[in-house]
Chain A
């Protein structure tokens, strides 16, 4: 077994196990902690896929930004009462049915498309990519040339999200 495959298995097991614990743990803080483990494992998977820049972005934005935001909100809101309540809806059968249908669909898609995974890896293109510079340079060049318009739209989306979050959570003043 090659080192890459071994690393893949380690990260995959961590990711799936902590994802199951995110969904099943009783305490929300534990869920958030396990979500952090999943996010780190997914960052490791990005490394095995030669996406080093994305692995860094995953750790900085997801773990350092989104997860910390989640934990802040959990700390702001009282959770002690919630731990002793029933945690799951009474719709297990429907949920499992939906999940089973989803698994069958994905398995069918993978089975139908299995020939496309046998494509020979593009060796010459990979060598050319290495000559172009590292992963960060490639992603940056892609972002600022071919995908410039989506990049600007994403910045506007973030601006709207900031304004929306402030408006949603600020106190109503007397004038309003």
Chain B
């Protein structure tokens, strides 16, 4: 049996890597991938607790998280394509129309 807190520490590491990716990269595709990494970390936590407490609710909630991730990826990539048509760039520093 693997102790539950091992999974929590692993999920924390994955989530932090995702945060660093979102904050430091300039390529919008890598930023979207980092968001997927963070959602995976949350799913690991949910399923670890579902296993720890022997309740199915955590797994059901993880399915909803995957649904939201799929919707987010579809809309996010649609925005990326629409943006690339307008500005011909994937660099987020050049997309500063609404920057103060």
Contacts and interface: CB of A to CB of B under 8 A. Distances in A.
Interface bin, chain B: 35 or more
B64 to A, nearest CB: 6
A112 interface: no
A162 B90 CA distance: 23
Contacts of B95: none
Contacts of B36: 35, 62, 66
A69 B66 contact: no
A145 to B, nearest CB: 10
Interface in B50-100: 50-54, 56-57, 59-60, 62-64, 66-75, 77-82, 84, 90-91, 93
Interface of A: 2, 4-5, 8, 12, 15-16, 19-20, 22-23, 28, 31-32, 35, 38-39, 42, 45-46, 48-51, 53-54, 57-58, 61-62, 65-66, 69-70, 73-74, 76-77, 79, 82, 85-89, 91-92, 94-96, 98-99, 102-103, 106-107, 110, 114, 117, 119, 121-122, 125-126, 129, 135, 138-139, 141-143, 146-147, 150, 154, 157-158, 160-162, 164-169
